[in-house]
């Protein structure tokens, strides 16, 4: 075998290895994350209607569960102190990426933020979390 042939073979092996390395998934270095997709701000949810809460997870074990919470963002001046409802909407959900929610009349009209948490087990410790980027409204 000539030296030129040997050099070409080495170049092809190196190029093939570099191509394979670039194409393989790099999941081992991706931080686990959860992203709330909706409601993510600006939506108008009517009391009594069904709304689908959606989220996306990356690099989170399939066995992790998801919890969904809500908080009211009161406009100034604050008309009443504290929340008058349970902030937990769902807990221990399978990580399917969505959950239908019937907007209850226990939520006063106003502006709200939804939060999603992925966790390994109850009690929730070290959750991976996200929340609405902006407020959405609940109306009658």
67 in a domain, yes or no? yes
130 in a domain, yes or no? yes
Q: Which residue has the tokens 């919470």?
A: 69
10 in a domain, yes or no? no
| Residues of the domain holding 99 | 30-139
> Closest Cα partner for 101 from 69, 56, 127?
69
| Residue 118: count of CB within 10 angstroms of its CB | 22
| Residue 102: count of CB within 10 angstroms of its CB | 10
39 in a domain, yes or no? yes
Contact present, 36 and 132 (Cβ < 8 Å) = yes
Number of domains in the chain: 1
59 in a domain, yes or no? yes
pTM: 0.74
Contact present, 116 and 68 (Cβ < 8 Å) = yes
Per-residue pLDDT of the chain (140 residues; tens, 9 = 90+): 777 776 767 676 677 677 776 775 555 568 999 999 999 999 999 999 999 999 999 999 989 999 999 999 977 665 555 566 789 999 999 999 999 999 999 999 999 999 999 999 988 889 999 999 999 999 99
The tokens of 103 are what?
Answer: 């907007």
- Ramachandran angles phi, psi of 5, nearest 5°: -65, -45
| Residue 120: count of CB within 10 angstroms of its CB | 14
> Closest Cα partner for 119 from 85, 77, 90, 78?
90
């Amino acid at each position: 075998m000539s030296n030129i042939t040997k050099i070409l073979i080495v170049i092809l092996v190196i190029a093939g290895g570099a191509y394979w390395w670039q194409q393989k998934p790099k999941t081992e270095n991706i931080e686990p994350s959860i992203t709330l997709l909706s409601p993510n701000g600006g939506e108008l949810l009517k009391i009594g209607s069904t709304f689908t809460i959606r989220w996306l997870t990356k690099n989170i074990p399939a066995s992790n569960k998801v919890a969904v919470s809500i908080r009211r963002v009161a406009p100034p001046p604050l008309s009443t102190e504290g929340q008058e409802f349970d902030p937990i909407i769902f807990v221990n959900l399978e990580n399917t990426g969505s959950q239908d929610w019937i907007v209850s009349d226990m939520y006063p009209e106003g502006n709200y933020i939804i939060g999603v948490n992925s966790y390994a087990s109850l009690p929730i410790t070290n959750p991976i979390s996200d929340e609405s980027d902006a407020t959405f409204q609940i109306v009658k």
